[in-house]
């Protein structure tokens, strides 16, 4: 997530009222989570387990809860609560804007696009040409939708990420400041939910088709020409490469990669990254032939024991 302009390390530290290590004029262009961070960004870390990962990442500035040696070419922001200060930055640079109309006057809707009754389109949404948006769809602020996209009734695009930090008094929410990008020729079924990125974009690429009642988590990237069947739940930060087929009631862990051309049979739990061009089944996930042989062998052993 980029700021509207460059900000100095001193400016950001003053806004947060915290100490910094580095040149006061050190330039910062934005903030991002660790998995999408780029040079010029701020990343936050609040657990010693992840210090090295953050300090050695592409981030130029690390918002951290302990004074440590600052890597060459980087800067540090020393915070008692990096999670909370990261939220302060998100809320400042991406504030919530209320809407007073069903279709915001700041939205851009392309030629020959059909918007059915009772659709909500938020601020600064961009929708391409020849799309059909069916009734009771909600499209949150900043969403980008390409050409020839169909979105069926009741789907919600751009809701917040499911991302919380456990505190003694309860759960503290990480504020979502990212968005969603739906490329051309995508079909989205009824009652689907696609969460926006925390700082980046949840992306569905060209030609992918999604069935009814599918959940796509924050910052996930779904490749081109994928098929995803009903009641599938894809967690956050998942990479699904091109031409993957996922059948019904599949669930995934977060942060995994599903390789190009993989086929995942129904009711599978994708607990780890998997290679492409193979068929998978079961929980924990295995290649389908192996898993089905295991099930058959267990049945045979049970039968033999009974006899």
First-residue to last-residue Cα distance in the chain? 64
Nearest to 178 by CA among 205, 234, 120, 217: 217
Distances (CA, A) of 229 to 187, 210, 238, 248, 253: 12, 6, 17, 5, 17
Say which residues have a Cβ less than 8 Å from residue 140's Cβ, sequence separation at least 6.
122, 125, 156, 157, 158, 159, 180, 196
Q: Which residues pair with 224 in a beta bridge?
A: none
218 is catalytic: yes
* Rounded distance between C-alpha atoms, residue 105 and residue 97, angstroms: 13
Question: Over 169-195, what HEC string results?
Answer: CEEEECCCCCEEEECCCCEECCCCEEE
Return the active site residues. Answer: 218
């Amino acid at each position: 997530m980029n700021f509207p302009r460059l900000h100095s390390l001193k400016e950001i530290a003053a806004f947060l009222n915290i100490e910094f290590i580095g040149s006061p004029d050190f330039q910062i262009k934005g903030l991002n989570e660790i998995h999408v961070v780029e040079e010029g960004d701020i990343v936050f870390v609040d657990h010693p387990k992840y210090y090295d990962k953050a300090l050695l990442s592409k981030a130029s500035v690390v918002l951290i809860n302990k004074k440590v040696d600052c890597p060459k070419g980087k800067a540090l922001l020393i915070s008692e609560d990096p999670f909370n200060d990261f939220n302060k930055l998100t809320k400042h640079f991406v504030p919530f804007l209320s809407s007073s109309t069903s279709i915001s006057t700041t939205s851009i809707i392309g030629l020959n696009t059909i918007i059915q009754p009772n659709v909500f389109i938020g601020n600064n949404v961009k929708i391409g040409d020849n799309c059909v948006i069916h009734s009771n769809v909600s499209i949150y602020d900043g969403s980008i939708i390409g050409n020839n996209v169909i979105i069926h009734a009741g789907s919600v695009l751009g809701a917040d990420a499911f991302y919380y930090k456990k505190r003694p008094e309860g759960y503290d929410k990480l504020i979502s400041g990212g968005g969603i990008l739906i490329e051309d020729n995508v079909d989205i079924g009824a009652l689907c939910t696609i969460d926006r990125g925390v700082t980046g974009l949840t992306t569905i690429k060209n030609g992918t088709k999604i069935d009814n009642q599918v959940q796509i988590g924050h910052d996930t990237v779904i490749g081109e020409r994928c098929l995803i069947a009903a009641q599938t739940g894809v967690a956050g930060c998942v990479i699904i490469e091109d031409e993957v087929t996922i059948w019904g009631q599949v669930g995934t862990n977060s942060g995994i990669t599903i390789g190009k051309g993989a086929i995942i049979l129904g009711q599978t739990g994708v607990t780890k990254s998997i290679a492409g061009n193979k068929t998978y089944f079961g929980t924990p996930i295995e290649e389908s032939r192996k898993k089905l042989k295991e099930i058959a062998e267990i049945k045979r052993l049970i039968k033999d024991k009974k006899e």
